[in-house]
Structure 1
Amino acid sequence: MPGPQRPLHRMKADFFKTLGHPIRIRVLELLSERQHAVAEMLTEIGVEPANLSQQLSILRRAGLVTARRDGISMIYELATADVAELLAAARDILTGVIAGQAEALERPA
């Protein structure tokens, strides 16, 4: 019999921890536009191949991206469009937060 299931809030926290790295976010942003070969991502992101490989591996284990071989290239894409929607929602939230902070700074003391 399987053990007790992890509470959803813990699963969500682990999910957001996976997203908590700038390189992983940048990879997901690139893949939100279209699928990319690793070589293309290296050019766009500007990190060492080993570092990118490690971050891609984490994203694959989390089920956020998928990979397939095309000749000698590995091609990555988002596992689901929901990931792109989540990134867009985060951008909208941050835009609102930044606008609110700017408004607060413009108010006379």
Structure 2
Amino acid sequence: MTLDMQQFKADFFKALAHPLRIRILELLAEGDKSVNEIQSLVGSEGSAVSQQLTVLRTKNIVTGTKDGNRVIYSLRDPMIIDLLTVARHIFNNHLVDTISMLDKINE
């Protein structure tokens, strides 16, 4: 693997390394949404959502399309949905392992 590819991966995962960004991606996995819709669904103020959308746009993870005076956001690559699903499976596996370990300690 080339250094360029490693750097791309590191930058990509840094862009995902924020809970609000992950939540935004999960919402966009359900379908395209405007900033107002995203703000409403995450229950966060506009500046926080806009700031995180800017990071995701800069890293080409989401795209924004003008629709009148609104911007509609969408996932640039639908494989992001697969990545989020894999991350959930990894989390669940860790959780199962932790629960098993705790069960053994409590026996």
Normalised TM-score (structure 2):
0.91
> After the TM superposition, which residues 13-28 of structure 1 pair with which residues of structure 2 at under 5 Å, given as runs?
13-28=10-25
| Equivalent position amino acid for 1:64 in 2 | I
- Aligned-pair CA distance for 1:41: 0.5
Match of 1:95 in 2: 92
Counterpart CA distance in 2 for 1:70 and 1:7 is 36
Q: Following the alignment from structure 1 to structure 2, what is the Cα–Cα distance between the partners of residues 8 and 52?
A: 29
Q: Distance in 1 between matches of 2:100 and 2:40?
A: 37
Aligned to 1:65: 62
Shift of 1:22: 0.6
| Residue 60 of structure 1, CA deviation | 0.5
| Structure 1 residue 44 corresponds to structure 2 residue 38 | no
Aligned residues: 105
TM-score by length of 1: 0.89
Match of 1:10 in 2: 7
**What stretches of structure 1 of length at least 5 have no aligned partner?**
none
For 2:80, the equivalent position in structure 1 comes to 83
User: What is residue 29 of structure 1 aligned with on the other side?
Assistant: 26
Unaligned ranges ≥5, structure 2? none
Quote how far apart the aligned CAs of 1:37 are: 1.0
Name the % identity: 38
